[in-house]
Amino acid sequence: MKRLFLSFVLIFLIMSSGCGEQNSSDSSSSSKPASVSKPKAFEPLQPIVAKRPAIDELKIPDTPVSGQVMGQPFQSEGADISVMGSLDFWVGDRSFPTVKVGITLPLAYNESPAGMSYDFHPDQGGGFRPVIHLELKTKRGPDMKSFKDPYRLNLSFGETVEGRLPGRIFLSIPDQKIKIAGVFQVFAPENPAEQPRNRHRPYTHGRISFSPVEAKSLMAAYAGIGDDGEIYHNGAGMNLTPDNPYIGGHVESTTFKPRNTSMWSDDDALRYRHVRLAPGNYIFAILWGQNLIAHQWQRVNEDSSLILDVEIDLAESGTLLVEIPGLKEGERVWLLPLNTSGVIPDGLDNRLLWRLPFQLHFKPEYKKDSVTYQLLPPRPYLVLYKDFQQEVQVIAQKSVKIKF
């Protein structure tokens, strides 16, 4: 009887085991496989398993990018993409935006995203995820945040047409009350070392020959008064060292419109270009740290394509001593470079002239009853103190003195 009972138990266990295997197999074969997605722009990636809503749920309107950021209305006033792959949308001034939303894309230097598309979901696992940047203007300065997840992003680019790249975007970060969607156009990334083209007019570009004697930043910049009465300025700089000043690299600065300034180095020189300038009168400048070491006034017209090569030798610079009895520390003394004829260029409004920002780069050394300006290019200048002004010619390797 005992043997019969044990045989029955053994048969029951074998049958139960077989049924379990069959049920497991049936369950596996009847379930639908999870969707696997690999965004077009990223190689290689780990397989991504995600639940994807239908594309029509994204609701991307055929209108300029808008929505809300931090719960407040957002209507993009501009967009651009840098040579480093940062796609930005902003409200306000490009340099100091009221609100800016940026997306860092995985692009090679100067690579165009034309024809690419990106799709990311909060429940997506593995692989690369672009970083979302948020910048808000506050009374204390810009408040910056970055997010890697969770967010919903659908971004696609069309093909480049006449240097412009169209795109569509849907971005949602519920935790931050951010949701923007719409269409946009940006200037496609381009090689800054190439000759500017007709679409860049008006522009100026050139080669800078300079041997640094200490480690500082060298900047190619401009400031001017447009024919529309507005003040325009921009600049881009690189850190140089005496041992190896031309180590390669590139920097770029973009203002609202956009107007671009680029600077890069090759084997034996630095090169720069300012493109899409507004017509007007400009001073084009080279800044070495806090010193304006080269400058030239130039008229820019609608179709200007100017070449301004610069050779700088600091040994040929001069010094200006301005004596002012009773001068207080920090009291403003203005120094304005004149043109090669020793006058203010025609057509400039003197009320705006003194607002040009490059006067701030003539940093004097204050002493009792005087200020001293070092490393000045040998040129004529206008010195202004309160309601008094004097013209002076700075001489190479000399110290010139004037008195108010």
Give the DSSP per-residue string, 223-244: EEEETTS-EEEEEEEEEE-SS-
Number of domains the chain is built from: 3
pLDDT of residue 48: 32
The model's pLDDT over 86-102, given as tens digits with 9 standing for 90+, comes to 899 999 877 678 999 99
Provide mean pLDDT across the span 156-174.
92
> Are 181 and 62 part of one and the same domain?
yes
On whether residue 365 sits in a domain, the answer given is yes
Which of 28-42, 159-173, 208-222, 334-348 is the least confident region?
A: 28-42
On whether residue 231 sits in a domain, the answer given is yes
Residue closest to 175 by CA, chosen among 43, 38, 60, 70: 70
On whether residue 50 sits in a domain, the answer given is no
Domain harbouring 397, CATH code: 2.60.40
Say yes or no to pLDDT of 372 above 80.
Answer: yes
**What is the 8-class DSSP label of residue 182?**
E
**CA 248 vs CA 56, 252, 268: distances in Å:** 46, 14, 10
End position of a domain, from candidates 133, 161, 187: 187
On whether residue 193 sits in a domain, the answer given is no
> Are 137 and 249 part of one and the same domain?
no
> Are 297 and 325 part of one and the same domain?
no
Residue closest to 130 by CA, chosen among 84, 97, 95: 84
Going by pLDDT thresholds of 50, 70 and 90, the confidence category of residue 391 is very high
> Are 61 and 177 part of one and the same domain?
yes
> Are 210 and 303 part of one and the same domain?
yes
Provide mean pLDDT across the span 296-321.
93
On whether residue 120 sits in a domain, the answer given is yes
> Are 381 and 286 part of one and the same domain?
no
Provide mean pLDDT across the span 48-62.
55
Residue closest to 381 by CA, chosen among 337, 334, 319, 324: 337
> Are 73 and 166 part of one and the same domain?
yes
The model's pLDDT over 220-270, given as tens digits with 9 standing for 90+, comes to 999 989 998 888 999 988 888 887 666 667 777 877 667 788 888 876 678
> Are 371 and 267 part of one and the same domain?
no
In this structure, the dihedral spanned by the alpha carbons of residues 83, 88, 89 and 90, taken in order and rounded to 10 degrees, is -100
On whether residue 192 sits in a domain, the answer given is no
On whether residue 60 sits in a domain, the answer given is yes
> Are 59 and 178 part of one and the same domain?
yes
For residue 95, the enclosing domain spans 55-187
On whether residue 43 sits in a domain, the answer given is no
Inter-residue contact 159 to 230 (CB < 8 Å): no
Q: What is the CA radius of gyration of the chain?
A: 31
Pure H helices in 241-400:
350-353
> Are 271 and 155 part of one and the same domain?
no
pLDDT of residue 378: 94
End position of a domain, from candidates 288, 308, 328: 308
Which residue in this structure is represented by tokens 């929505």? Answer: 67
> Are 74 and 132 part of one and the same domain?
yes
Inter-residue contact 226 to 232 (CB < 8 Å): yes
The SS3 call for residue 392 is: strand
> Are 220 and 301 part of one and the same domain?
yes
Which of 124-128, 245-249, 383-387, 396-400 is the least confident region?
A: 245-249
Provide mean pLDDT across the span 180-191.
87
Which of 167-171, 251-255, 307-311, 391-395 is the least confident region?
A: 251-255
End position of a domain, from candidates 252, 279, 308: 308
